[in-house]
Amino acid sequence: MTQYAALIYSADVDWTLPEYADVTKEYAAFAEAAGAVIRGGAALYPTSTATSVRVEGKGGKILTTDGPYAETKEALTGFYLLECADLDEAVRVAATIPGAWDGVVEVRPVIEFPM
């Protein structure tokens, strides 16, 4: 089994607003249907709440900028951690995440560092 991060890139919106209740319901339905393979995940507040942190060399001065690392039309708005047999299964599951039709879901294998 491999763990995959399913990174959801979609419109940069505030999921807590009532107008997104239907979409959140869709996500809840997805989470229930895919419960067997979901190992974690989160929805994120919009990028207007983001702070990008950079340090001038290890131990150096902390520089912060208001906003996301990259300004793009579609933003990282949430992610799931999925445990699947292979990429085919991961793609099949990712294709049922509402973000896949509202935006794009990027599937990336997760490194499992040996103990």
Partner 1 sequence: MSAATGAGASSGAGATDPEDAARALADLVRTAGRDVLATLARWTGNLALAEDAVQDAGLRALQTWPRDGIPDNPVAWLRTTARRRAVDLIRREAARGAKEALATGPVFAADLPEDEPDPDVVDDDLLRLVFTCCHPSLARETRVALALRTLCGLSVEEVARALLVSEATMAKRLTRARQKIRLAGIPYRVPSADDLPERWDTVLATTYLLFNEGYAATAGLELTRPELVANALRLSRLLHRLRPQDAGATGLLALILLQDSRRAARTDAQGAAVLLADQDRTLWDARAVAEAVPLVGEGLRLSPGHPDPYVVQAAIAACHALAPTWQETDWSAIESWYEVLLRVDSGPVVRLNHAVAVAEARGPAAGLALVDAVVGLQDYPLWHATRAALLRRLDRPAEAAAAEARARALPLNAVQRDLLER
* Pure H helices in 44-96: 87-94
**Pattern 55-94, binding to partner 1, x per CB under 8 A?**
-----------------------------xxxxx-xx---
Distance CA 54, CA 111 (A): 24
Q: Which residues are paired to 104 by β-bridges? A: 9
Least separation, in Å, of the C-beta of 97 and partner 1? 17
Among 28, 48, 67, 109, contact with partner 1 (rule: CB under 8 A): 109
Distance CA 52, CA 34 (A): 32
The footprint of partner 1 (CB under 8 A) covers 2, 4, 84-88, 90-91, 107-109, 111, 113-114
